[in-house]
Structure 1
Amino acid sequence: MSAGKSAAAIRYTAMRFAIFVGCMVVVGALVQFGVVPKGLGDANFAWVILLALVLSAPLSFILLRKQRDAMSQQIAGRVDSAKARLDANRSREDGAA
């Protein structure tokens, strides 16, 4: 993607980040209330981030399927048009030679 990111990509990224932050808040609360172990020594913050990543990945995969499909269709369209331009340029060069 170039400088002008598509709206679908920005929306997908923002929603994925929101799911991660939500998971981080939930995991942090569970750690504070002792439901989930605090980790090893001073690794509490790293532990919360790791657990949030592990939880948010499958949630994002399931919950954001529609947005991911829309984004991939936009990207596939751009790739197809770039391939068509490249093929047109190649045929034009072959015709000139």
Structure 2
Amino acid sequence: MLRYTLMRLGVFAGCLAVVWGAVYAGLFPRGFGNSNGLWVLLLALVLSAPISWVVLRKERDRASVQIVTKVDRMKANLEANRSQEDGADETARAQGQPS
């Protein structure tokens, strides 16, 4: 997951550099008044999203599999703990002890 996040940040940084250069070269508009920095960040974000979606597809799928595996393992551990508690409770009730 960390790898995917770093790759996504890398794509954004690359887009930011390209957009910054294109704005100062006059290829893209400069924005209104003092909004130039915000304009560059927003444009880089808008451009990096579809690029990341296409380029990082395999890495995103790999991260998704890791997350699903962790969630399934946590659910299994929770169910195992729950069944242990139920077993201890049933044993205590069978022996006539308060739970």
- Asked if these proteins are the same fold (TM beyond 0.5), I'd say yes
Secondary structure class of the residue paired with 1:15: helix
Q: Map 1:1-97 onto structure 2 (within 5 A).
A: 9-97=1-89
Where in structure 2 are there 5+ consecutive unaligned residues? 90-99
Identity of aligned residues (%): 55
Where in structure 1 are there 5+ consecutive unaligned residues? 1-8
Alignment deviations for residues 13-50 of structure 1 (CA, whole Å, 9 cap, x no partner): 11111100110111111111111110010111110000
Q: Report the aligned-residue RMSD.
A: 0.7
How many aligned residue pairs are there?
Answer: 89
**1:3 is matched with which residue?**
none
- Paired with 1:17 and 1:95, the residues of 2 have a C-alpha distance of 49
Secondary structure class of the residue paired with 2:28: coil
List structure 1 runs of 4+ shifted beyond 2 angstroms.
none
- Paired with 2:29 and 2:46, the residues of 1 have a C-alpha distance of 15
Counterpart residue type for residue 16 of structure 1 = R
